[in-house]
Structure 1
Amino acid sequence: MGTAEMLTAAGVGSGDEVIVPSYATTGAAEAVRSTGARPVFADIDAQSLCLDPVAVLRALSPRTTAIVPVGLFGHPADLTSFHTLAEARQLVVVEHIEQAPSDAVAVRRRREHAAYLDARLTGVTTPGVAPGVEHSYHSYVVRVPGNGRPDRDAFARALRARGVRCRVPVQTPVHRTPAYRCEVRLPETERAVDDCLALPMAEGMSRRELRRMVSVCNGLGGLLPMAA
């Protein structure tokens, strides 16, 4: 059963509000809208990049009936906090799943790759992992320090020019897309859109490929001028 079907089965419909992250694909918002309810965007946690329970608490209104967290890049959403919050207010929690589960061997290899990169990358902020959480690293998302998007984009161009196939994981937050545009203050979401970059993280990568990526990233020093 998909997210929309689970929301409908829980009685969510027209006139209701459902809290979703904006730093994600449009999938959760689309599922909410298909029930007739209105998606309300809340901010993310700066470390996990997933929906922040504190921000969700601030976004609640008398019309809120559900919360739809989304695990991102392999970091699971804080479901324990959301269920605690929901139980006190008779809300529904429906996790939106965007990535198919990986087999144990693939996850173990990605975690090994991530540990190697965590220990060696400089000039970028490596992925944050909440205490007690097991990250499966569907994507290895770093943050490029500096002046946001200009420095991140310059860094990305320089990496690609040197053969590192990086990508911007979320180009535009959902609340700024034409279909869902609204005025809402989401500072951590906006920062993540501007400075996050996904480095290659395939379970089949060799140690030589990882060493090469570390060498290129560290050689750039983390920051580049726009002309790079």
Structure 2
Amino acid sequence: MGTAAMLRAAGVGAGDEVVVPAFDDGGAARAVVAVGAVPVFADIDPTTYCLDADRVDAVVGSRTAAVVLVHRFGRPAATGPLTELGRRRGLLLLQQQEDGDEGADEDHEVARRRLHAQYFDGRLRGVRVPEGGAGHTYRQYVVRVPGNGRPDRDAYARVLRARGVDCRIPVPTPVHRLPEYRRSVVLPDTERAADETLALPVGAGLTRREARRIVSVCNSLGDVVRPAPAAWLAAAF
């Protein structure tokens, strides 16, 4: 059952507000709008990239009916604090997998991705590797390029692609900045994650040679935080 269907089944609709993440592709917000309710954005935990319970609590109002928790990148969110918040504030808590992450993983696929992630964790330099956490299946291996924000990350990504590394930006624009959902809210961890995150290839079919190539290309860029992006981008070619 999709998120919109679950909201309808719970009686959520016109006049209600539903708390959703802005670090998202918009799927949660679209589901809320589809049932006639209003999406309200809360900030994320910078480690899990999922809604932070304290930030959710801060935006709950008299019209808040539910919270949609979206799990990120194969790492299960810490649901305990949000479950407790839901009990305390009388809110429905719905859990949604990231778009494209439906369906069960085969054990061998998860095992392969975890091996690749372990390899990257121990060898990548100049980027911040993800914190694993219990149960992480690494549907995406998401690093942080902690320079001066989006210009550094975007330039870094362009160099990787030019050298044959098929990386992607998980959330190019936070949902609260999209025209159809624009809100005047302060979400510093969401903004920072959108500016710095980059997903590297980690699929089960990745070969060891390809993994070594990814590490080699990434590490050849050195510390991208300090040099001006234009300088190392030019030098990379």
Deviation at 1:226, TM superposition (A): 2.9
Moved over 6 A (4+): none
Deviation at 1:222, TM superposition (A): 3.6
Encode CA deviations 1:35-73: one digit per residue, 9 max, x unaligned.
111110001111111111111111111111100000011
Secondary structure of the corresponding residue to residue 28 of structure 1: helix
Specify the alignment match of 2:123 in structure 1. Answer: 120
Write the letter of the residue equivalent to 2:114: R
Contact 1:73–1:138, Cα closer than 8 Å, also in 2: yes
Specify the alignment match of 2:53 in structure 1. Answer: 53
Deviation at 1:23, TM superposition (A): 0.3
Contact 1:75–1:135, Cα closer than 8 Å, also in 2: yes
Deviation at 1:126, TM superposition (A): 0.5
Equivalent runs, 1:56-75 vs 2, <5 Å: 56-75=56-75
Pick closer, same or farther for the CA change 1:129–1:58 going to 2, 3 Å.
Answer: farther
CA–CA separation in structure 2 for the residues paired with 1:118 and 1:226? 24
Write the letter of the residue equivalent to 1:41: F
Matched length: 226
1:104 and 2:83 equivalent? no
Contact 1:154–1:225, Cα closer than 8 Å, also in 2: no
Deviation at 1:77, TM superposition (A): 2.1
When normalised by structure 1's length, the TM-score is: 0.95
Specify the alignment match of 1:20 in structure 2. Answer: 20
Specify the alignment match of 1:172 in structure 2. Answer: 173
Secondary structure of the corresponding residue to residue 18 of structure 2: strand
Equivalent runs, 1:207-222 vs 2, <5 Å: 207-222=208-223
When normalised by structure 2's length, the TM-score is: 0.92
Deviation at 1:32, TM superposition (A): 0.8
Contact 1:22–1:42, Cα closer than 8 Å, also in 2: yes
Deviation at 1:173, TM superposition (A): 0.6
Secondary structure of the corresponding residue to residue 69 of structure 1: strand
Equivalent runs, 1:79-228 vs 2, <5 Å: 79-97=79-97, 98=99, 99-100=101-102, 101-130=104-133, 133-223=134-224, 225-227=228-230, 228=233
